[in-house]
Every structure is written in C-alpha cells, then in structure tokens.
Amino acid sequence: MAAIPLFSSQFSTSILTLLPLPSSSSSSSLRKRFSCSSLSSSMENESQSKFKEFPYVSVPHRELMVGLVSTVENRLGTSLLACSLPENVQYFENETGSAHASLYVRSGNSSSQVDFILGSWVHCNLPTGGALNITSLSAYLKPSTDAPNFLIEVIRSSPTSLILILDLPPRKDLVQHPDYLKAFYEETQLDKQRQLLENLPEVKPYFSSSLYIRALVSPSAILVSIETEPSEATRIDEIIRDHISPVAKVTLDTWLDLCACAERRLTDDESADLGQRDGVIKNKTIEIDLESSFPRLFGQEVANRVLGVLRKIYNA
Amino acid sequence: MAAIPLFSSQFSTSILTLLPLPSSSSSSSLRKRFSCSSLSSSMENESQSKFKEFPYVSVPHRELMVGLVSTVENRLGTSLLACSLPENVQYFENETGSAHASLYVRSGNSSSQVDFILGSWVHCNLPTGGALNITSLSAYLKPSTDAPNFLIEVIRSSPTSLILILDLPPRKDLVQHPDYLKAFYEETQLDKQRQLLENLPEVKPYFSSSLYIRALVSPSAILVSIETEPSEATRIDEIIRDHISPVAKVTLDTWLDLCACAERRLTDDESADLGQRDGVIKNKTIEIDLESSFPRLFGQEVANRVLGVLRKIYNA
C-alpha cells in the first residue's frame, strides 16, 4: 500500500481543540456500543455506509464533496487502485456513539504520478446540542513530480458557521523557487478564486492556530471563515452552492490539468530532496493533527487502531 | 560596502501600482528643479534633511519610526558602521518636486552578525490632493547565522488609511525546518502581537498583490490594513501610538535578543545554502519592487542612479 497520510484534517486542529467535545473515555464502564444515544439504532447501518454518502451534512455540502471526489476519480480513472483500508478504518466511531468518521484512500498505480487520494468525514455531536462536521479531500503526488498537492477541507461547527481550507499546497520552498511560484500560482491566477470568496460580506480570513499549517499552504490558499446571522442559517448553504463549489471546481481542475496529469522532469537529487520534504510534512501532520485530536474524539483504543494504520501508510 | 537591499519597500508594490501617482517624466522640458510647485521653496533644506527627521509624517508615526531606529542603533552600538551612501542617494526627489525620498544604510562591522540595517521614507503628493507616505526599517543578518531578519513598513495613503507590515521574515523553509519555526515563531509567541492588532475593529488582514511577498513573510507576520471613518482621522494616529508602537517594540526586541545578538552555529554547507537563498530574495526584491515603482515615482534618471547603487549593494 502506498503512503496515505490524513493530511487534510490537520487544518481542523484549532477547531477540535477549542470546541467543547464530548469525552470519549475508554473506561470499561462505557463499553456499551450501540446502546447509549438516540443515534444508536442507526449505527449498524452507518458502519456499512460509504464515505461518499456524507450522511451528516447538508445537501449542498454533500454535493460539493461528491462532485469533487467524482471529478478526481473520473479523471484519474484506472490509474487509481481500489480502497484497501481495513473496514474498521474505513468507518469508525467512539464508544458513546457521539463521534463517527469515515476514511477513504485510493493509491495511484505504479505508472501514476498520484501517490494517493484521501477523503474523510468526521461527525461529532456537541454537548451544546449541535454537531461538528468536517469533510475533506486531499490528493498527494509522488516525488517523481514536484507539482503541488490538492486539499479541501470544509468544517461546520454550527448551522451559521463554516471554515473552508482550499489550496494546492506547494512542495518546494517558494522563496527559493520563484519560477515554481510563477508556474503554479501566478500564471494559474488562483488568487482570483480567493478574491471571489473574499468579496462576500460573510467571509473573513481564517488563521489556523498552528503556525506550521500556515507555513504549509500556498500564498493563494483560501483559508476563510464564514459566519451568518442565526436568522439566515440557509445562507451558508447558498454560499456553498453558489460560491464555494465553483471556486473549488476551478481549483481542482487546475490541479488535475497542471499537477496530476502533467509531466515534470526531475533529477534524482531533486526527487530525493522532495521525498525528504514530503516526509517532514507527513511526520508533522501526524504530530499536529491526529495525535492530539483523534484520542479526544474517538477514545484511545479507536485512535490507536486508526493511527496505527495511518502511521504505516505515512512511512510507506 | 556590505549588501544593502531595499527589502522593505517591496511590500508597497501594490500601493504604488494602484495609486494615481503623478507623472515623473524625464522629458528635458521638465528639467526645472526647485521651480514648479509650492513645495519648491523648501527643497534645498529638504535635501539636507536627515532620514531620521521623517519630515512628512504625523508625530506618532515619526515617534514610532525614530523609536525603532534608535533602539536598533543603541543596541547594536559600534558594531554598525556609519552610513556611506552617496548624498544624492541618501536623499532624492523627482523633477517636479512631487516625490521625495530618503535612504539610510548602516552596515555591520566584520565581527557583527548584522549585514546591514536599512531605513527609508518616501513622500509623494497625489493628484487627488493628498499624499502617500511610506516609512520602513529593515535589518538583515549575514549568512553566518540563519536567524530571521527584521522588517517594518508603514504605508499611509490618506489620513484615514494605513497599511502595516511587521515581521521577522524567516531565512529558511519553515515547512522543512519545524525546529526553526518553533524556536523563532512558536516559542516567541509573536502571533500574540498579531492578535492584539487583529482584535481592533478598524483592523483587517492585508493581502499583498505580490504572491512572492506573501510567501516571503512568516506565518505570524502582521500584514494589516487599518481604515477609519473620515470623521475619525485622528484615530489612526491613536492606533499607531497605543497599539502599533508597543507591538513593534516587542517584535524588534525579540529580533534583537534572539536573532541579531544571539549565536547560531552553522556548518559551511548551511551558510552556503543560506547565502544562496538570501541572494534569490535580493534579486526578486529588486525585480518586484524597485524596478517597477522607482521609475514611476522619481523618473528614470533618478531611479537609475538610486537603483545602480542599490544593485551593487545587493550583489556585494
């Protein structure tokens, strides 16, 4: 199996550490799966649910994610291998049934420049009565090309708030490589997509609490938070459908055309440097994001299982 | 003479290219120095004025800049050599007398880690009747240390608007060097200074039109624009005095303690890599900022003179 990091979720660190999440204690007295909430009756069905059903999010949010996953899969076609994650990593939940998640990974075949694509969703009931929903899709390229990766993450912590991370994270130091900046960011005019969202009155720049995450994204990255009045809860879904979806489509098409499906000739030394840099990113990703948030969300036992699989994938 | 790039002014590119600046044509019919505006009578005095007088900005703005320059000079003491710029580069203006500028450079002596400090101010009358004022102070370290540089730039294009750039621009790829990020940005808690300004209602994040500039700054960089109502024009000076000045002081003190006056042991290879990266930055700085804005502001003849001196310094 190729490397399969859960890159995208690292962006949610600040959310996960700030929200009053329910405890996911691994105390044996809580080992009562499928028995302790109004959600329990549907859990066995949920465990069979597919990643692509995005069962907990609004229709525009689901359509956004399904559209992006379909676009990637249709374009990359048979160069992607089937998802081979263990079933209990493809879907998992915490002991109290308050947190659910799905992972979906397809590696590129040996002749593909794609290392893997990784999709995820996390749903978590909040003590306040609402729910946190995070959906993501990321795509990683192999060190045979230096082209940027792809990343989208949509975080909803209430009906009136949304955080969007959308970027082609660079794989080289842009300061030292202005030609790379020019080719992938200036000439693609990706910043115009950021400006389209910035112009909406509900949209504000979002600063991740992790400086490493801020350093990792490109200078045209879209990192925004969107807040609407409680009386206008449907407005966020309008924004997803009318504004975020077209911007995400343009960004993904740019990635597919210019990064995933274009050749970049590298020397062995360049590939080795890239592989080393990619490796640092993967290790930091596990440290920053998953090792802190997964035990809190899913309990140590489930977190160990999922992280164990992901660590092997990261180091593959 | 050591290398003396005009790093700081690159941040003002978007301002200089957007504002309706007066023409600074080098047509011989316009060669009437000291003769064509109400400002002309004071020009000979101005040509003698010192950088540190900041003659065109408000009192709080001047006090901010003078305070920072004094702090650097007092702390670095005799390790800084005297300014040796030609007099007509220390102060210059365009032919119509509508644009004035001063540069100030002091190089570090041979045993100093400081390459040089560079201060500047630019004043330019606008056709709309107002004026553009840019003041900056930057400080560069030698490749014998990998510690970050220092940069502040304050841009006022009207009494009710201000752009502030304040940062310790990193000298290594932070993605590949998380320990460097930790040492200079996380442990120093510089982001708290950014948050102090972000909390003011008049303050919004500022996005440079240059993606290279965005890539160059650290993840805790302060890049903000401040706008007040026309009825509250004095508010910006209050913000400079009560909020920007203390934040700038903390940032500069951090730089002096941790970067300029602390030893970092590097291998020869590390120094060589740093020198190469520093060189790319200098070349991009000239290209992005000075080569486009200086001819527009000061006319080709003055721009050639100043840029000629600066290019030699950059490549020293």
Taking only the tens place, the pLDDT of each residue in A21-43 is 444 443 333 333 322 233 333 44
Q: Give yes or no for a contact between B153 and B12, defined as CB atoms under 8 angstroms apart.
A: yes
Rounded Cα gap, residues A240 and A150, in angstroms:
19
Helix or strand or coil: residue B102?
strand
Q: Calculate Rg over the CA atoms of chain A.
A: 19
The phi and psi torsions of B49 (rounded to 5 degrees) equal -70, 150
List Cα–Cα distances, B84 to A22, A265, B89, B103, B310, in angstroms.
65, 47, 10, 11, 12
Q: With CA atoms as reference, report the closest residue to B255 among B216, B207, B220.
A: B220
Q: Do B219 and A219 touch (CB under 8 A)?
A: no
Size of interface A-B (CB pairs under 8 A): 65
* Spans of chain B, pLDDT less than 50: 1-49
DSSP H/E element including A95: none
CA dist A124 to A46, A220, A252, A286, A301, Å?
Answer: 14, 30, 28, 20, 17
Residue with tokens 């909390």: B199
Residue listed under structure tokens 């994001």: A289
Q: How far are the Cα atoms of A7, A9, A214, B17 from residue A287, in angstroms, in the given order?
A: 11, 12, 15, 43
- Of the residues B187, B211, B222, the best mutation for testing chain A's interface (the one with the most A CB atoms within 10 Å of its CB) is B211
CB contact under 8 A, B211 and A284: no
Looking at residue B32, its pLDDT comes to: 34
More confident position, B5 or A181: A181
Q: Residue B178 in 3-state DSSP?
A: helix
Give the DSSP H/E element, type plus range, for residue B191.
helix B190-198
As a whole number of angstroms, the distance between CA B142 and CA B148 comes to 10
Distance CA B130, CA B135 (A): 17
Q: pLDDT at residue A59 above 60?
A: yes
Q: What is the model's pLDDT at position A50? A: 76
- Answer whether residue A99 shows pLDDT above 90: yes
Q: How far is A148 from A241, CA to CA, in rounded Å?
A: 26
Dist CA A171 CA B70 (whole Å) = 41
State the sign of the Cα–Cα–Cα–Cα dihedral A302, A308, A311, A313.
negative
User: Which residues in chain A have Cβ-Cβ distances shorter than 8 Å to B186?
Assistant: 211
CA angle B242, B243, B244 (to 5 degrees): 115
Q: Which of B13, B146, B173, B199 to probe the A interface (max A CBs under 10 A)? A: B173
Which pLDDT does position B229 carry in this prediction?
Answer: 92
Among A175, A191, A207, beta carbon nearest to B280: A175
Rounded to whole angstroms, how far apart are CA atoms B94 and B301?
A: 9
Mean local confidence (pLDDT), A104-114: 93
Contacts of B203 (CB under 8 A, 6+ apart): B197, B224, B225, B226, B239
At position B160, the amino acid (one-letter code) is T
The residue type at B202: E
| CA A315/CA A5 separation, integer angstroms | 9
| Closest of B67, B86, B80 to residue B106, by C-alpha | B80
Predicted local distance difference test score (pLDDT) of residue B120: 94
Indicate the pTM of the whole model.
0.86
Contact by Cβ (8 Å): A1, A313: yes
Say what angle helices A291-314 and A268-285 make with each other, to 10 degrees.
150
CA pair distance A166, A222, nearest whole angstrom = 5
What ipTM, to 2 d.p.? Answer: 0.85
Q: Under an 8 Å CB criterion, which residues of A touch B? A: 173-176, 178, 181, 185-186, 191, 198, 205, 207, 211-212, 214-216, 218-220, 276-277, 280-281, 284
Q: Tens digits of per-residue pLDDT, A226-267?
A: 999 988 879 999 999 999 999 999 999 999 999 999 988 899
Structure tokens at B58: 């408000």
| Coil, strand or helix at B207 | coil
User: Do residues B174 and A212 touch, judged by C-beta distance below 8 A?
Assistant: yes
pLDDT for the residue numbered A316: 63
Between CA B309 and CA A27 the distance in angstroms is 71
Per residue in A111-142, pLDDT (tens digit) is 999 999 999 999 999 988 899 999 999 999 99
Q: What was the pLDDT predicted at A239?
A: 97
Helix ranges, chain A (H): 13-18, 43-48, 59-76, 87-90, 178-181, 190-198, 211-216, 234-239, 245-255, 268-285, 291-314
Strand order in the sheet with A99-107: A91-93, A99-107, A114-125, A131-141, A150-158, A161-167, A222-227, A203-205
Q: Smallest Cβ distance to A284: which of B178, B214, B220?
A: B178
Contacts of A277 in chain B (CB under 8 A): 173, 175-176
B137, amino acid identity: L
Distance set, CA B218 to CA A28, A102, A172, A215, B149 (Å): 46, 34, 16, 7, 11
Instruction: Please give the structure tokens belonging to residue A7.
Output: 């890159």
CA distance B1 to chain A (A): 25
Mutate to test the interface with A, among B175, B285, B288 (most CBs of A within 10 A): B175
DSSP string, A111-144: T-SEEEEEEEEEEEE-TTS-EEEEEEEEEEE-TT
- pLDDT level of residue A301 (50, 70, 90 thresholds): very high
pLDDT (0 to 100) of residue A33: 32
pLDDT band at residue A194 under the 50/70/90 scheme = very high
**Mean pLDDT to the nearest integer, A207-233:** 95
Partner-chain contact B185 A216, CB within 8 Å: no
Q: Which one, of A201, A197, A194, lies nearest residue A242 by Cα?
A: A197
Gap between the Cα atoms of A104 and A66, Å rounded? 13
Q: Which pLDDT value is given to residue A248?
A: 98
Helix (H) or strand (E) holding A176: none
> Across-strand partners of B182?
none
pLDDT tops 80 at residue A208: yes
Scored b (16 or more CB within 10 A) or e, A89-126 reads bbbbbbbbbbbbbbbbbbbbeeebbbbbbbbbbbbbbe
List of chain A residues whose C-beta atoms are within 8 Å of the C-beta of residue B211: 174, 181, 185-186, 191, 218-220
Token pair belonging to A8: 């995208």
How far is residue A118's CA from residue A232's CA, in Å, rounded to a whole number?
33
Question: Tokens standing for B144?
Answer: 């014998």
SS3 B199: coil
